[in-house]
Amino acid sequence: MSAPLYSLARGGFTEVCHRGEVVVVDATGVIYQSSELRGVYPVRSLLKPFQFFAAGHEPNAIWAPAVGSISATEAQVAQIRRWHPAIPAEMVVPASYPMEETFRAALKISQQNPSPYFHTCFSKHMAILKACEIEGWDLKSYAQTNHPYHERLLNLMGTLLGDASRVKGWVTDGCGLPSPVLDIRDTAELYRQLAVSENLEPIRKMMIENPTWVGGDGRVDTTVMQLNSGKVILKDGADGLLGVGVLPCAKYPSGLGIMIKLDSGYLLAALGIVMARVAEAIGLEMGAIRLRGHELNYHFELFKNSEKSVIDISPLIHEGSGVFPGDIPFRRQVSLDSQKGQHLTLSSMETTLHIGAHVDAPNHFGGKLGIDKVSLNPYQGPCQVIRVVKKTNEVIMPEDIAFHDIRSSRILIQTLSYDPSKPYQEDFVALASETIRALKQRGVILVGVDTPSIDPCHSKDLPAHHAALSSEIAILEGIDLSGIKPGVFELSAMPLRIQDGDASPVRAVLGKVGV
């Protein structure tokens, strides 16, 4: 599952949020990943340096465009036409217009037809077709996975990754060639190998010496390579991929392989913003970011919190824990005690089910289902902590949450109006039934509060509870949100399977997946 990488806000209100993944590897394996699970993606254009290596040509200026995805400026296309004056009949590259906007617009205004010369993959196909001629391979079938060229490419990836079976499958790229599908970790390792492998040194040198043929002016890969010549290799790709190979240095003696993936696809500005964060962390130069009135908020930081850390939001349960006046307090009775020389410790407890962090079942306030029969889905998944400031004994109204940027279907409301370390307090902040219905309209499936109840202490008709029942919103009460910065997290608060239980204590925790 991907996580937020950055968001853009205006006046404190989020307008744009880009999700995706950042994965970093060194010789030991993955040393950072921004989300808990790694994705599997077609490598597509990021494979070009390795596809060229498999073609077996001597690297030189003529073949520099074969390892890149050029913008196809007028000057670039003119040079490629001089190098390759004829298009082989066997070429499967579709006719297209240039990526570069000025030249593309001029061609359309002059009503010139699209051409394979304008395609970002033209030179790569020329290199493969030339290899087929040299090797005596069939030209017409060069786009099929069982062709000798692709078998050679697969063997190369197997050598670099240690096992060719790491290729999950093949898909057809937009240029007509087969593209392998890899775990994002393995694609990052390919780019580390591109930065460190002796066998790949000629490819590495060709890319470093010809950064404008890797992409073009204004492109992220070309720009970063120009600003950090000889230190790093970059290559962007279709559908929001950016591969980074950091050459060995004192700080990273085995080099680094870095993969960036945007869920939103190929957006040049967005890739640049994520790359700026990466560049800052590893000590690379990066051009200035223009935001045009936006405030930039990053949701990841390389090499920090790379393992998912857990925050416990469950108050300690003990014999002094506050319970509703007249309810059964917590009591633990020890039958055997290993600390007193007995062979084990054995104890029992007696208490209300509504103690500490707990979830209410519908049958607690008129519904039919006990806690053993409720859906578990609301109690685990992405959640958002929001801060609402109210005076004691007040009720949170719809207008109190109207301007919050609700980004999750699970909302935890931080009121800081109840201290779980003290005896039961009756003047905590509660929720209005209208607020529950307003949250329902915004797609909320669980509401949590840092108080003993979503209704005021002495409410008899429990309007917020009944609104939650009719809105099919799960209730989590009694959590401790002191010290939690509002933001996006991963919630786990599973109830016990107590037959016909009207509630269940839970161990509620937050995973740090965003801020």
pLDDT above 80: residue 36: no
Phi and psi, residue 21, nearest 5°: -140, 150
Which amino acid is present at 39? G
**Residue-level pLDDT at 347:** 97
Measured CA to CA, the distance from residue 414 to residue 400 in angstroms comes to 12
Place 481 in a pLDDT band, splitting at 50, 70 and 90. Answer: very high
pTM of the model: 0.65
pLDDT digits (tens, 9 = 90+) for 493-515: 999 999 999 999 999 999 865 43
B/e letters for 97-130, b = 16+ CB within 10 Å, e = fewer, are: bbbbeebbeebeeeeeeebbbbbbbbbbbbbbbb
Measured CA to CA, the distance from residue 515 to residue 488 in angstroms comes to 5
pLDDT digits (tens, 9 = 90+) for 384-432: 999 999 999 999 999 999 988 888 899 999 999 999 999 999 999 999 9
> Residue range 465-491: average pLDDT?
94
Measured CA to CA, the distance from residue 185 to residue 259 in angstroms comes to 8
Measured CA to CA, the distance from residue 416 to residue 400 in angstroms comes to 15
**Residue-level pLDDT at 309:** 66
Helix (H) or strand (E) holding 38: none
3-state DSSP assignment of residue 439: helix
Tabulate helix, strand, coil % of the chain (nearest 5).
30, 25, 45
SS3 for 176-237 is CCEEEEEEHHHHHHHHHHHHHCCCCHHHHHHHHHCHHHHCCCCCHHHHHHHHCCCCEEEEEE
pLDDT digits (tens, 9 = 90+) for 126-143: 999 999 999 999 999 999
Could you identify the residue written with the tokens 């087929």?
A: 132
**Residue-level pLDDT at 307:** 45
pLDDT digits (tens, 9 = 90+) for 425-462: 999 999 999 999 999 999 999 999 999 999 999 999 99
**Residue-level pLDDT at 296:** 92
Alpha-helix residue ranges (DSSP H) falling in 228-267: none
pLDDT digits (tens, 9 = 90+) for 318-353: 999 999 999 999 999 999 999 999 999 999 999 999
Catalytic residue set: 364
Measured CA to CA, the distance from residue 167 to residue 170 in angstroms comes to 8
Measured CA to CA, the distance from residue 259 to residue 188 in angstroms comes to 5
Q: Do the Cβ atoms of 20 and 313 come closer than 8 Å?
A: no
More confident site: 238 or 271? 271
Phi and psi, residue 247, nearest 5°: -65, 150
Q: Which among 18, 40, 20 is positioned nearest to 188, based on CA atoms?
A: 40
Contacts of 250 (CB under 8 A, 6+ apart): none
Place 154 in a pLDDT band, splitting at 50, 70 and 90. Answer: very high
**Residue-level pLDDT at 515:** 36
Average pLDDT over the chain, rounded to an integer:
93
Half-sphere exposure of 189 (CA within 13 A, CB side): 19
Place 37 in a pLDDT band, splitting at 50, 70 and 90. Answer: confident
